[in-house]
Amino acid sequence: MSRAVLSLGSNLGDRHAYLRLAVDGLRDCLVAVSGVYETEAWGVRDQPDFLNAVCIVDDPAVDHRGWLRRAQELEQAAHRRREQRWGPRTLDVDVVTVDDVRSDDPELLLPHPGTSQRATVLIPWLEIDPAAEVPGHGQAADLLSALSEADRAGVRLRADLVL
Ligand SMILES: Nc1ncnc2c1ncn2[C@@H]1O[C@H](COP(=O)(O)OP(=O)(O)OP(=O)(O)O)[C@@H](O)[C@H]1O
Ligand SMILES: Nc1nc2c(c(=O)[nH]1)N=C(CO)CN2
């Protein structure tokens, strides 16, 4: 078994369509997908709001490197261009966790190093897995509680959008 948690983000063009493109590309191995959240940009703050979502996928034939490849193929399908770090993008697909794999390879850090600080990942993930754990960092619910109220308030469910 190889179960991965992937985070999806978009803040350029038809954001909802780009998230859909990603989820449609994962339908064969999709276990669960969160709602769509409108989120204030972190990192580079002077850019449009993002839409974020999280999905859980499972495929015994795909290992952690395989999940990174799948993620990068989806970004390429959305014509993602690598420009500014943390800058605007049509589609970002990050590998948050793969089972309890730990990796310090810069090409594939696991768990994804931003996870514990990002309400944009923790809130959608907890929606579909309330018992979620970040390997080596603890329960996602505890990590979310440790974030500021302002961080959490910047993540709002868009009930009008589905994936
Ligand atoms: N867990 C991971 N998921 C996705 N990419 C990763 C991961 N760990 C390392 N990388 C590497 O990160 C590189 C740059 O990724 P990207 O441009 O999406 O960063 P970013 O989205 O701007 O920032 P962040 O990774 O902090 O969200 C990729 O070349 C990829 O190999
Ligand atoms: N709200 C939000 N902000 C971001 C995001 C994101 O997915 N959501 N991704 C970034 C680059 O990875 C930079 N900033």
Query: Is residue 36 assigned to a domain?
Result: yes
Among all bound ligands, the one having the nearest atom to the CA of 134 is 1
pLDDT at position 149 is 94
pLDDT in tens, 97-150: 999 999 999 999 999 999 999 999 999 999 999 999 999 999 999 999 999 999
pLDDT per residue over 16-47, tens digit each?
Answer: 999 999 999 999 999 999 999 999 999 999 99
| pTM check: above 0.95 | yes
Q: Is residue 162 part of a domain?
A: no
Total of domains in the chain = 1
Our answer on whether the CB atom of 41 is closer than 6 Å to any ligand 2 atom is yes
Residue numbers of the domain that contains 65: 3-157
Q: Give the separation between CA 103 and CA 96, rounded to whole angstroms.
A: 12
Whether the CB-CB separation of 50 and 9 falls below 8 Å is answered with yes
ipTM of model: 0.96
- Look up the CATH number of the domain holding residue 78: 3.30.70.560
With a 6 Å cutoff on the Cβ, whether 20 touches ligand 1 is: no
Instruction: Please give the pLDDT value at position 1.
Output: 64
Amino acid at 58: D
Full DSSP string of 39-55: E---SS-SSPPEEEEEE
pLDDT the model gives residue 87: 84
DSSP string across 81-144: ---STT---S-EEEEEEETT--EEETTEEES-TTGGG-HHHHHHHHHH-TT-EETTTEEHHHHH
52 lines ligand 2 (CB under 6 A): yes
| 81 occurs within a structural domain | yes
